[in-house]
Chains A and B, each alone.
Chain A
Amino acid sequence: MSLEKLSVEQRLNLNSFATDRESHISINHKLCKEQDAKILLRICPAACFTMKSGELVFSRLGCLECGACRAATSPGAIEWNFPKGGFGIQYRYG
């Protein structure tokens, strides 16, 4: 497997996750402006934000809990939390 050619999905597949049924992050569509959406599509290192039928959606699968989405967007644009205790990314190396 050539390192350079790994997609984000392939990279995330290397990781260990305990995914919760509930999402720990949600988009507040009233406060999430077009500019915020553009930023979210690019800045998330796990590509958790995507466009589905013209609407920005967040998928908790693969979230690395880094907080870049919250730091980069206008206040309130996303409702940000950590996953519940024991859930989410399980780093083995770190």
Chain B
Amino acid sequence: MEAEFEAIVVGAGLSGCAAAYGLAKHGVRVLLIERGRHPGSKSMSGGLMYCHALHKLIPEFWKEAPVERYVKRHVISFLSKGSAVSLGFDGSRFSTPPYNSYTVLLSKFNEWFGSKVEQAGGILADGTYVDDLLWDGAQVVGVRAGGEDIRSRVVIAADGVNSRLVESAKVRGKFSPGAVALGVKSVVGMPSEAIQARFNVHEEEGVAYTFLGCTRGMQGGGFLYTNRESVSVGVVAGIHSLIKTDAKSTELLDDLISHPTVSELIEGGTPLEYSAQLIPEGGFGAVPQLHRDGFLVVGDAAGFTSNSGLLLRGMDFAVASGAMAAEVVRKAKEFGAYTDSTLAQYDSLLQKTFVIRDLRTYRNAPRFLSNQRLYSTYPDLVCNLMERLYTVDGGPRKNLFGVVRREMKGKVSWVRLVEDLLEARVL
């Protein structure tokens, strides 16, 4: 049977839109299928996008896309009960184009990206759920959606972390609890003038906070990003640590927003939306086989995210992998065959770029980040140390070394501390 489309992309998130755009722009007949009512209606992210990958696909996209604020200040905060030690970085280079990163609200953003695909000539089918893949022997030849068979020469799975298609194509099973984390977020409305005053930024500028020590000792952390007229605040915790605790996932978000350091940043705000999302965190070791005959995997479905502890990235990986899948499909089209071996070029393209390179660089990070001391012992230590250092109450003083020794006593040995510091070289 004749293929109606050259390519079908399943999922109009960032990776799917990037793939479909990369095809449509070059005149390839592509169908983008989205189960939500419009692209973006199922999209959720923390909200920090490193711009380089999309800038490459759509130069200066920030001029037309619904971006929020470029991030000019990054703050890392170690939280302990009632106190915080923070380190901030102001980058003037981050305030000029090409911008390093932007905060985004992904639902709005992907609605725009979906419309770009349509403008470029791609066909969008939204509100449509893909039930399964169509096969001709070992070759994927389309999808079954809404009771209809739609044929194509290649299918790109961009259906996210819970991808049913990668399971259907048997390139991997469901993620193990150790390979995913749960993110829970609240979007809190705030007038833009209030954001400018509170965070000491100009109208277009924003701040990104990373919090450690707010997860009851569980592997994870918190974040807060300023949008134009809202703030995104949330927590991320590993599923394997959530399984082992007595805490509810929702209580972690309550903990974070009731911490004095965080609550003063969102005080008076109006809650607008509550969201949750799984994040693949297995890194290099969890990446599945990325292609088979007539089939490619991109974005979260492929597990393309990188967590180095202080930096959690997924969106630039999604865009770049989508764009590269489009490139490979265009080459396969010229070549006239969508076999596993022609699509294997996808692997080599990814390996030549940051997608696989960065995953490989941080391949041992998951092991380091599973160290429980990072999530309570050390944040507590740093906060207590500072408290002692600045507490003047007329009592006898100890020199700095004495304070450090006293704070570490019974919590962590010097040997352990040095070992952990050495281990941190994998980051």
Contact = CB atoms under 8 A, between A and B. Distances in A.
A86 B42 CA distance: 10
Given A4-B263, A11-B271, A94 B44 contact: yes
A4 B186 CA distance: 11
Given A86-B36, A86-B37, A66 B243 contact: no
Interface in A46-94: 46-47, 64-68, 70-72, 75, 80-86, 88-94
Contacts of B243: 39, 43, 72
A33 interface: no
Interface stretch (B75-83, B273-281, B361-369): B273-281
Contacts of A83: 35
Contact of A68 (B41, B182, B245, B272): B182
B42 A93 contact: no
Contact of A42 (B246, B263, B278): B246
Contacts of B263: 3-4
A18 B41 CA distance: 11
Given A45-B182, A67-B278, A94 B107 contact: yes
Nearest to A86: B127
B109 interface: yes
Given A72-B242, A82-B35, A94 B108 contact: yes
B127 A91 contact: no
Q: Is the interface of B mostly helix, strand, loop or mixed?
A: mixed
Interface residues of A, number: 40
A31 interface: no
Contacts of A6: 271
Contacts of A14: 271-274
Nearest to A1: B271
B230 interface: yes
A76 B146 CA distance: 25
B242 A93 contact: no
Nearest to B279: A66
B124 interface: no
Contacts of A1: 270-271
B258 interface: yes
B157 interface: no
A84 B263 CA distance: 38
Given A67-B278, A72-B177, A90-B37, A3 B188 contact: yes
| A contact face: mostly helix, strand, loop, or mixed | loop
Contact of B162 (A8, A72, A82): A82
Interface string B76-117: 000000000000000000000000000001111110000000
Interface in B237-270: 239, 242-243, 245-250, 254, 257-258, 263, 266, 269-270
Contact of B249 (A44, A70, A86): A44
A89 to B, nearest CB: 7
A46 B276 contact: yes
Given A47-B250, A93-B230, A71 B184 contact: no
Nearest to B267: A3
A42 B109 CA distance: 32
A71 B275 contact: no
B318 to A, nearest CB: 14
B275 A64 contact: yes
Contacts of A81: 164
Given A43-B249, A71-B278, A85-B35, A92 B273 contact: yes
Contacts of A27: none
Most A CB within 10 A of own CB, among B40, B174, B242, B275: B275
A45 B107 contact: no
Contacts of B161: 67
Given A43-B242, A47-B250, A93-B105, A68 B271 contact: no
Nearest to A39: B243
Nearest to B163: A67
Nearest to B37: A86
A40 B242 CA distance: 10
A15 interface: yes
Contact of B248 (A3, A42, A65, A75): A42
23 contacts: A14-B272, A14-B273, A39-B242, A42-B242, A42-B245, A42-B248, A45-B276, A46-B276, A64-B274, A64-B276, A68-B249, A72-B243, A75-B174, A86-B128, A89-B42, A90-B41, A91-B44, A91-B275, A92-B107, A93-B275, A94-B45, A94-B107, A94-B108
Given A3-B263, A72-B242, A83-B35, 9 more contacts: A4-B258, A42-B245, A47-B250, A66-B278, A85-B35, A88-B36, A91-B41, A91-B106, A94-B45
Interface of A: 1, 3-4, 6, 8, 11-12, 14-15, 18, 39, 42-47, 64-68, 70-72, 75, 80-86, 88-94
